[in-house]
Each structure stands twice: as C-alpha cells, then as structure tokens.
C-alpha cells in the first residue's frame, strides 16, 4: 500500500499475521519514498501509527474480522504490547510489531491509523521470531477481542446491533413532554417505527423496555419518572407487537448516562427509552426515496468539497480517496486538508456537539477530534461507523471506541487521511454526510484490489 501523508510518500507492507496460544503478532514494514524531508512531528505520528503504540486516547493498529475487533494488547505494566525499530530516513525501512488477540479465521483485516485498512492479510502459525517478539515486548496481560456494534440513526429513533442483541433507542423528548410520563402526540409514529424494526428482526420473544433520565432533579424523582415512562412505552408496544412478544419494563433513572457532561446535548441524549431484544436489525438499504435536504457544501464522486468547521472557524477541503467493500464492511478513506496558515486545526469532521456522537456514548476528547460523525446517508436513515466497547479497567483505551481514526494530527498543510469502517449497506454508490458540515454524493463502492 502506498499513501501520502503531509507531503511524505509512504510505502506500507503488512506481513502475514502469526498466532500462538491465543495471541497474534502483526508486523508492518514501511519506508519513506523519495527525498522527502521528514520532520520530527511527522516522524512521531508515522511511528505511532505503525508501531502499534497508544496515541491520545485511541488504540493504534487493530485487527478486524467479521463482527469483532482486536486492539493492541497491554503488558502487565499497562503499556502497549508493541515495539518498533529502524530509521525514518528516506528510503530506509522501519518495522513495527504489535500483539493482539488471535483472529478466528485464515485471514484478517488490519486497520492502521493515518494509513488505512489492509484487507485479507493471511493468518498462519507462529514461527521462531514470534518468541523473540514476545520476549522483547513482554507477555501480554490483556489480549481481548470485542464485538462490533452497528448504529443507525432515524428521524425519530436510533437502532443498534451488538452481537445477537438489537436495541432501539427512543428519544424521550419525542415521546414525552417535560417531566411527563404520558405519551405525546408524536409518540405514535416513533413507537410504530420501533415496532416495525422489532417485527422485521424477530418473530417473537422477550422485549425489554428500560427508561433513563438526565441528572436534573433528585435521584429519587428521576428513578420514579424513568419507571413510569418505561411502563407507558411497554404498554403501547404490547398493543403494536401482539401476543408473540413478552414485554418487561423497568426504570434506571439517571444511573446509566450514555453521554458525559451536563450540556444540553448530553442531557438530551441521556433522556431516552431503550427497547432491547434478541435479533439482528438489518442495515442494508432497500428503501427508495429522496435524501434529507442539506444546506451544507456538497460535492459528488471523488470531487473535493470545501467547508468551514463552525466550532473553530477553520476552512477544510475533504476528498474521498476510496470506499472499498470488504468482509467487515465498507471501508472509507478521506483526505482532509486545511489552510496552510492555520496553526492548530481541530474538529475537521464535525465531532464537537454532534448528536449521534453524544448518543453513542463516546467520551469527550476522542468525540471532538475524530471521524465519529462520518455517516452513510440513506433515505430516512444515516448509518454510522462501527464502534465497540472496552470495559473500564481493561486495556489501554477504555470506553466506547470508533472503528476508524479517532485523533486528528493537529497540523495544517497538504492533509491527512481519515479512515472509518461502516456496516455494508449493500449499495454500489453511497452518500457520505456529516450533518450540517458537508456532503459527498454518488461515491462509488469498489472491490479490494
């Protein structure tokens, strides 16, 4: 794979992944091409990406297979299970190796920040060098795999799938008036939409309805309000779904916020009712119709689009490099460039204040600086990139993580690459949209080279 990063041309090669006793080792060779002047900052960023080290709240190299992701493992000292060696000088190779949980198949995808995604890397039994690497890095204390979660945002609700469990999240501001538990006039359409999602994914079974509130008022009051709201939703859903489903209702008050902080956006995300059941909601787009209109700058295909990040006033240009269909989903890579005069570009992809980013539970810093808001827009819905949850106390980067680039380089000039992986919508062309920031229509979906 060849990539250009801030004027530096890189040749990147991923060697076959070696596995032993549930642990995988990934070697990545790369070299700067030509006579490029690789300054210290670029050396730092390139080195972090290919060495598998931890950088600013994000895992670096990740292995990805259908439904699962394997981040960099951690040592007993809490460090990244990764080493790198070699020079950054032009033409001289550099090699990084990182340890992960072993994939289950004969091949695996490798996601490399600021470089992109390499599909179908062979997996084989470990050779003699494997023991040397483990000895140098240290036996990993945690090498885990995590289930990927899909997340689709509709006009009235959102739907996620993690493993065999689907969850429809209904916004309380749509269902209820302030401090009310009686369903509003708008609630009927939202609950009918939820019922149709459930019926399409499961012919019957248990359905759990859980109410949540924000942190305004007392814990006791919020607990009671959440219980009453859950009961109202469960009662209406029972009539819409019929006797094949067993519905339970409970309230959890303010105890399980999905968004950090006390901003209006965070509190709105925390006021919700979640409807969970066993079954898999499809993200394939079979719906025909018009896309929701936008006043944001728009381009099509591989043409660039220029827009302003309103949160910081920086002007950016985005261009799609490619969208590729793989076994794990649609892999999209964009090149984002800012004006050379901007000293500290940030929030280039609309993460700050994004409703979907709040609702999905990302923590504050990575939410602002990453590609969380890059969505595939279809009639009536937007499909967000895959994400996954790392439990607190496990691994290097905990909480809700994006399957894609989570940190911007904070450097102006020719631009950086941002890669995300979306669930496959089954389309031959897609529309990439960041709400109110920019839109790129008719982007072709290609097959791996």
Sign of CA dihedral 77, 81, 87, 89: negative
Instruction: Show the CA angle centred on residue 235, arms to residues 234 and 241, nearest 5°.
Output: 75
For the domain bounded by 298-446, which CATH number is listed? 2.60.40
The average pLDDT across 292-314 equals: 89
Please tell me the least confidently modeled range out of 19-33, 81-95, 127-141, 425-439. Answer: 81-95
Per-residue pLDDT tens over the stretch 369-411: 678 889 999 988 899 999 999 887 665 567 888 899 876 655 5
Shared fold status for 164-278 and 298-446: no
The average pLDDT across 231-239 equals: 96
Q: Is residue 75 very low, low, confident or very high in pLDDT (cuts 50, 70, 90)? A: confident
Is 50's pLDDT higher than 60? Answer: no
Q: Are 127 and 139 in contact (CB under 8 A)?
A: no
CATH topology of domain 164-278: 60s Ribosomal Protein L30; Chain: A; (3.30.1330)
Decide: residue 247, CB within 10 A, 0-12 exposed, 13-18 middle, 19+ buried: middle
The average pLDDT across 276-292 equals: 83
| Higher per-residue confidence, 63 vs 406 | 63
* pTM score: 0.89
User: Residue 154 contacts by C-beta under 8 Å, 6 or more apart in sequence?
Assistant: 193, 380, 381
Is 14's pLDDT higher than 70? Answer: yes
Q: Is residue 52 very low, low, confident or very high in pLDDT (cuts 50, 70, 90)? A: very low
Q: Which of 98, 109, 115, 113 is nearest to 32 (CA)?
A: 115
Q: Is residue 30 very low, low, confident or very high in pLDDT (cuts 50, 70, 90)? A: confident
Beta bridge partners of 83: 97
Which pLDDT score, from 0 to 100, does residue 140 have?
A: 87
The average pLDDT across 254-275 equals: 91
Per-residue pLDDT tens over the stretch 87-124: 555 556 778 888 999 999 999 999 988 788 999 999 99
Domain ranges within the chain, ordered by starting residue = 2-147, 164-278, 298-446
Is 199's pLDDT higher than 90? Answer: yes
Share of the chain above pLDDT 90, in %: 52
Beta bridge partners of 276: 167, 208
């Amino acid at each position: 794979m060849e990539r250009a990063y801030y004027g530096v041309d890189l040749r990147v090669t991923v060697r076959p992944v070696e596995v032993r006793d549930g642990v995988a080792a990934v070697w990545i060779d790369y070299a700067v091409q030509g006579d490029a002047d690789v300054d210290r900052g670029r050396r730092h960023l390139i080195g972090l990406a290919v060495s598998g080290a931890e950088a600013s709240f994000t895992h670096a190299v990740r292995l990805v297979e259908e439904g699962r992701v394997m981040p960099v493992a951690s040592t007993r000292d809490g460090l990244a299970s990764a080493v790198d060696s070699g020079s950054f000088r032009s033409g001289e190779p550099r090699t990084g190796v990182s340890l992960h949980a072993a994939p289950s198949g004969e091949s695996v995808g490798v996601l490399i920040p600021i470089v992109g995604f390499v599909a179908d890397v062979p997996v084989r039994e470990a050779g003699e060098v494997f023991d040397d690497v483990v000895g140098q890095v240290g036996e990993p204390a945690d090498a885990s795999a995590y289930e990927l979660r899909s997340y689709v945002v509709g006009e009235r609700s959102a739907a996620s799938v993690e493993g065999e469990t689907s969850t429809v999240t209904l916004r309380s501001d749509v269902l209820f008036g302030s401090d009310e538990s009686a369903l509003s006039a708008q609630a009927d359409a939202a609950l009918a939409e939820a019922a149709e999602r459930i019926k399409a994914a499961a012919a019957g079974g248990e359905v759990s309805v859980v109410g949540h509130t924000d942190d305004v008022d007392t814990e006791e009051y919020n607990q009671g309000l959440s219980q009453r709201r859950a009961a109202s939703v469960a009662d209406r859903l029972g009539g819409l779904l019929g006797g094949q489903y067993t519905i339970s209702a409970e309230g959890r008050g303010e105890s399980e916020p999905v968004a950090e902080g006390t901003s209006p956006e965070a509190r709105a995300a925390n006021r919700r009712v979640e409807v969970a059941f066993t079954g898999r909601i499809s993200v394939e787009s079979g719906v025909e119709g018009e896309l929701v209109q936008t006043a944001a700058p728009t381009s099509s295909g591989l043409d660039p689009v220029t827009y302003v990040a309103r949160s910081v006033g920086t002007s950016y240009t985005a261009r799609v490099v490619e969208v590729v269909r793989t076994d794990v989903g649609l892999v999209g890579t964009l090149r984002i460039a800012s004006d050379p005069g901007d000293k500290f570009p940030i929030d280039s992809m609309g993460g700050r204040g994004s409703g979907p980013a709040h609702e999905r539970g990302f923590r504050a810093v990575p939410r602002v600086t990453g590609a969380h808001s890059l969505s595939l827009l279809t009639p009536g819905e937007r499909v967000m990139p895959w994400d996954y949850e790392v439990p607190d106390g496990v691994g290097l980067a905990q909480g809700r993580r994006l399957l894609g680039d989570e940190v911007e380089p904070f450097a102006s000039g020719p631009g950086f690459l941002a890669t995300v992986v979306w669930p496959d919508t089954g389309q031959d062309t897609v529309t990439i949209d960041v709400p109110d920031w920019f839109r790129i229509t008719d982007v072709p979906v290609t097959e791996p080279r």
